[in-house]
Amino acid sequence: MKCGSCGRLVRKNLWVCPECSAALKGGVVFVTAVSGSATGDYMGKVLQQANAHGHPSDLHDIGIEMRRHATEHEPDVQWDAILDADEGVRRYLRALAFKDLTHDIKMNPEVVHLVDLHLSFRWRAYLTKGFEPHILEQFVPYVRCFVNLIEDLPKIKERLSASAWGDREILELLVWRDEELFLTNLFAETCGRVDSYAIAAAEPPSMLERLIWHPEMKRVYLSFPITALRGRPDGEAALREVEAFRDRMREFLVVFDPFACRDYDETYAREEMKALRKQVGEATEERDYRFIDQANAVVVYFPRMVSSKGVDAEMNHARRTGKPIYLYAPEKPREGPFVVPPKQVRSNPDEFIELLKAELSLPTPTKAS
């Protein structure tokens, strides 16, 4: 990306030129997800917030643009079965959509362009390409980051069942969703290792707005016991306490909340999910590790002193990846040679909040954010 003041080419995903300190504007953010994730609704809310907060931005839905071009140039194409059409037709429609996008970027260089697209499809039993890699080359100078939106599997299944996609198996959707995340990371690396984030669709749109327009804000993963708390009479109250603390942290941090993804919970409530508890459990574990990897630190919150294999595993992963761990516990935490030592511990929630503010040296977000 080129600085408009000094002309220097600077690293992507920066908002201030390191040479002359001038503000950098514009750029492209690619947002990916599998079909049925309601990405358009989510990104519409992000766009609304961004514009309201003084961040010039625009939203481009590649699928909608392809459909418009199909209506204009390929009237014989049945859009509901576009993935049955000849691959050359799909490639042609995508090229037209991205040509429009390129034109909009050049005409509006100071606007952040949010691009909603799919990288892959599982319309049939096999994986189908949803994006031509060579198209990405022209956007490399403008890319700020990639974002993969992760929706819960039952919600994806329900939305697809009401469309031409029809009824889909949960395992098929699980694999496809993982493939979309994998491809998102791969394309981010292709663009010069720009940031690539995975976020749950249940996270507030303000979270994505901060990731895009406030990359200086620190990111933390919130680790806390879930299953162990539900087995207690006061379990629900304890979980509400965790949520209240999460909301306090969100006043000055970007917080990745594992509870925003409910797939594993659904394995206890739905028969079709129960049969896949092992696969869903492994995917959940790997996804939470991914959230830790994209965070600057891990915050562990024990509203009650219970044993939690999940929290232990996440603390071990944080230690292996060099993430500092901050621990809240109302009682003295466990000690021993196999217990991961946190960087700091507090037993008072208010003191814990002040610790996080001081330790992570976070700027207070502007009113516009």
State the sign of the Cα–Cα–Cα–Cα dihedral 277, 233, 220, 33: positive
Please give the CATH topology (third level) of the domain spanning 217-362. Rossmann fold (3.40.50)
Q: Which residue spans of the chain are classified as CATH 3.40.50.450?
A: 217-362
DSSP state of 121: E
Q: What is the pLDDT of residue 331?
A: 85
Query: Per-residue pLDDT tens for 273-309?
Result: 999 999 999 999 999 999 999 999 999 999 998 888 9
**Residue 209 DSSP SS3:** helix
Q: Which two tokens stand for residue 307?
A: 């044993």
Q: Which two tokens stand for residue 58?
A: 């625009």
> Would you say 36 and 201 are in contact if contact means Cβ atoms under 8 Å apart?
no
Query: Per-residue pLDDT tens for 320-365?
Result: 999 999 999 998 777 655 578 889 999 999 999 999 999 986 555 4
Q: Which residue spans of the chain are classified as CATH 3.40.50.300?
A: 8-216
The correct CATH number of 8-216 out of 3.30.930.10, 3.40.50.300, 1.10.10.60, 3.30.413.10 is 3.40.50.300
Q: How far apart are CA 322 and CA 339, in angstroms?
A: 16
- Reported pTM: 0.91
Q: Across residues 301-319, what is the average pLDDT?
A: 93
Q: Which two tokens stand for residue 256?
A: 């990745």
